[in-house]
Structure 1
Amino acid sequence: MAKESFDKEIQFLRMLALTSGAYSRQQFAERLGISVHTFDKTLRRLKEIVSSMYEQLPQEQGKEFAEAIRFNYYESSDPMLLFLFRAKSLKESESHRISLLLAALNDQALTAMELMDVCCSGLDPKLPLPDEKTVRSDLKYLEEVGVIRKENAARPYRYRLHNDLVQSLSDEELYDLYDFVDVMANTQVPSVQGYLLRDGLKKHLQRNDAGKHVIEPFLYKYHFYSRILDEAHLFTLLSAIRSRRKVQFLYFSPKAEKSYTSRNTNPLFERESKGSLVQTLPLKVVYDHQYGRWYMLSSSRDGIRKYRMEGMTQIEETVAVSPDVFEAKRTELEDKLRYSWLIDTGRPIKVRARFFNPGSFEPNFVKERVLLQGQWGVIMEEDEHSFIYEITVNGTTEIKPWLRSFGSSCEILEPAYFRQQMIDEWKEIQAYYASV
């Protein structure tokens, strides 16, 4: 995944997608916790990235970045916010160097020293020449992400491109693989790696003159920008969980006035941060399909804590804990999540609801949806007109939107206070439609 952190750009794009250009420069900068100068510089940088990523478009189709987000965001099968991962994964010098390495390895297997000679002879004279340690670091990174592999087991290692899969498949098989990856990347999480794989397959087909026959069979209307943006933090957190390490980050809650603040590097211009500095032990990452949000569940001194990943910036791994401590904390969390609809760790409550069948319609789509989405709930009673669904959950907050989405096909029976809440909400909704 990305070698660089891009917290500022993530929050910048999130705000831009949320506001659709409604904020002025000053309002935008204040909400992000940056200066107007930094806002302008970031916007210029993102415009350059967009123009480089979409340079094949005719000149008359070029638009201002904010306008492109506002009007074109839902018209493409490729989520526009994904370009951030492509553009910020490597620094400019790394990008040139790695391009040379991959081009050299495309023809034959080479050692690190031979690749160093390739870099020194092929790099732009304006760029600094790499040393052996830098080249070996690049090779290690490319091997970790699966781009290259060692050809022999003894030193000196010879590296070659790890592209056996695409080389062994026919064009027809590559079309099928491309369509499969396209569907999975747009419907499953995490998705960023799937999009990058899809792009790689498309470029391979185009190099073989097969790409001109590729027709996009599916068009997706992408709703959840946070799903893509917050995947920048996902693999850092999963790495910390695997290594049983605590993490430290600056957190901005959803109700905070600011969603980002620049890292203070000059003491003369240091200012008070509006975020909270958090150090905690991550235990689990949860994705909410209903709202397209990522959550991190962790253990702190005051018990189990939950954080929205969209408010996490400047994430760093810190100290490791013992396996016994980690397992004890994870067991505690799993016990509290036993009856959680999503991440609620409150007191378990039994919820009973009556679902009404849709008349003589077949199939019974109400029952099918309850069976599909109702998690561990069970149908206790059933007749030709309705059925009673029963489930024990931690509180009613998280299950309420699901039950409410059935409208008049669902009646809450127990608990009594939950039934009254729903009655009050539906009365309030009815008042909105009262005759004038």
Structure 2
Amino acid sequence: MAKESFDKEIQFLRMLVLTSGAYSRQQFAERLGISVHTFDKTVKKLKEVVQTMQEDLPEELDKDFTNTFRYNYYDSAEPVLLFLFRAKSLKESESLRLSRILAGLSERPMTLKELLELCCSGEDPEGIFPDEKTLRGDLKYLEEVGVLARQPGPRPYQYRLYDDLIRQLSDEELCELFDFVDVMANTQVPSVQGYLLRDSLKKQLNRRSLTEPAADPFLYKYHYYSRILDEAHLYPLVSAMREHCKVQFLYFSPKEGKSYAAKPTNPLFGRESVGSLEKVLPLKIIYDHQYGRWYLLASDKRKSIRKYRLEGITQITEAESVAEELFLAEKKLLEERLALSWMIDTTNPVTIRARFLHPLPGTGNNFVKERVLLQGQWGVITEEDGHSFIYEITVNGFTEIKPWLRSFGSSCEILEPLQLREELIQEWKELLAYYESF
């Protein structure tokens, strides 16, 4: 499928999960920047994909695409939207061709000629068979990603499946490996490739009859669906940074009412897009654990630092490359600007002093101090007595650190700066007004 279609489905699924089906078809299409007809086609296509990936879908859920996600989200610990990556990772022709290659190699090692005969055998409704050049590219790709290996010996070379590790593992070792991947995929970022590896290991466990659903040692509840969807742009951006290439994309700010704009195929019906066309040099990608958001930090033609949320990026393509010296100079400048940043703030530094109260005696561990030491980054404790301690940190602005300080509730009192103290006082007054008696 076209890249644009993938962007559309990413934005479609994000809005579907966030709104829980509260939008009408017209509202949904308007927010996405597409027609109602395109909306219906997208729903139909995604529904077909869900049916393909989840063959045991209940009949009542099969009828309503919105309910499919709403109920699966609450009933399952699996990240439901991962199906988009499984279905979109390859074109249909590539998926069929690679499946035939892997199926043939699972029986015995084969040469390029034998694989070509295998791929051209059988019935193809469209009569499209790969040529030798295409098949060589497939074999090179599968060899690079470690799926198959070339047998030592003279030409013509033979290829075999490279599954030595899995075959050599005992049942106990395979279960331990699956548990490790399961923990890492659910607790680390990025996670999509971890989930795909987890699925592959689970298939191996099924082949050995080692899976018992009731005995899963770990269960996780997934909260940030957009994190998985944003990872569709993560790897192209990382690749562009490695190659020192600029990227071009259409960006929709979270402040705008639109999140997507379809490319007009008919020039008579062309319309101005609400998104902004950006061309920048990507320098760094940062993940915000608190809100489950990915950020791209880049340099534009004016040599200024630009910040983008990955959820607003669509139609991303690589542009021209730059000299390595220029890329390293821009990245060094960015690191200097971020040296005192709580996350991505590049405004002027400010020193924050806060008093944290110890828990009441007899409550066990001092969880307040433990959390401050764990999450407080480069901040230090300057004073401490039996009732409280003073925490001090210099950061770029206080907008990003404010939610963290506020999360301590009555255990935290801001001493400096005065502006931050007054802002928190006003916020707590607003909260108090919500709970006043009627």
User: Shorter chain as normaliser: what TM range?
Assistant: over 0.9
Correspondence 1:397 to 2:408: no
Take 1:430 and 1:188, find their aligned partners in 2: how far apart are those partners? 37
Summarize deviations over 1:125-178 as a string: whole Å, max 9, x none: 434111112212222332333322333487544322221221111111111111
Shifted more, 346-355 versus 198-207: the winner is 198-207
- Residue 350 of structure 1 is matched in structure 2 by 351
For 2:395, the aligned partner's letter is V
- Residue 162 of structure 2 is matched in structure 1 by 162
Take 2:214 and 2:420, find their aligned partners in 1: how far apart are those partners? 53
- Residue 67 of structure 2 is matched in structure 1 by 67
Q: Is the 8 A contact 1:109 1:158 kept in 2?
A: yes
Shifted more, 18-27 versus 4-13: the winner is 4-13
For 1:135, the aligned partner's letter is L
Across the two proteins, how many residue pairs are aligned to each other? 435
Take 1:396 and 1:176, find their aligned partners in 2: how far apart are those partners? 44
SS at match of 2:74: coil
- Residue 31 of structure 2 is matched in structure 1 by 31
Take 2:147 and 2:265, find their aligned partners in 1: how far apart are those partners? 35
Q: Is the 8 A contact 2:224 2:292 kept in 1?
A: yes
SS at match of 1:73: helix
- Residue 48 of structure 1 is matched in structure 2 by 48
- Residue 120 of structure 1 is matched in structure 2 by 120
Superposed counterparts of 1:319-330, under 5 Å: 319-330=320-331
Q: Is the 8 A contact 2:354 2:416 kept in 1?
A: yes
- Tell me the TM-score normalised to structure 1 length: 0.96
Take 1:107 and 1:4, find their aligned partners in 2: how far apart are those partners? 35
Superposed counterparts of 1:184-195, under 5 Å: 184-195=184-195
Correspondence 1:373 to 2:375: yes
Take 2:33 and 2:355, find their aligned partners in 1: how far apart are those partners? 49
> Cα 1:128–1:215, aligned 2, differ >3 Å: closer, same or farther?
farther
Q: Is the 8 A contact 1:123 1:129 kept in 2?
A: no
How far apart are 1:179 and its partner, in Å?
Answer: 1.4
- Residue 311 of structure 2 is matched in structure 1 by 310
Shifted more, 135-144 versus 416-425: the winner is 135-144
Shifted more, 241-250 versus 169-178: the winner is 169-178
Q: Is the 8 A contact 1:74 1:222 kept in 2?
A: no
Percentage of identical aligned residues = 66
How far apart are 1:57 and its partner, in Å?
Answer: 4.2
- Residue 177 of structure 1 is matched in structure 2 by 177
- Residue 93 of structure 1 is matched in structure 2 by 93
For 2:162, the aligned partner's letter is H
SS at match of 1:121: coil
How far apart are 1:34 and its partner, in Å?
Answer: 0.9
How far apart are 1:339 and its partner, in Å?
Answer: 0.3
- Residue 434 of structure 1 is matched in structure 2 by 436
For 1:100, the aligned partner's letter is R
Q: Is the 8 A contact 2:111 2:156 kept in 1?
A: yes
How far apart are 1:378 and its partner, in Å?
Answer: 0.5
For 1:373, the aligned partner's letter is Q
Take 2:136 and 2:291, find their aligned partners in 1: how far apart are those partners? 43
Take 2:300 and 2:415, find their aligned partners in 1: how far apart are those partners? 37
Gaps of 5+ in 1: none
> Cα 1:111–1:294, aligned 2, differ >3 Å: closer, same or farther?
same
> Cα 1:207–1:93, aligned 2, differ >3 Å: closer, same or farther?
same
- Residue 265 of structure 2 is matched in structure 1 by 265
Q: Is the 8 A contact 1:100 1:122 kept in 2?
A: no
How far apart are 1:4 and its partner, in Å?
Answer: 5.6
Take 2:170 and 2:3, find their aligned partners in 1: how far apart are those partners? 36
Shifted more, 317-326 versus 422-431: the winner is 422-431
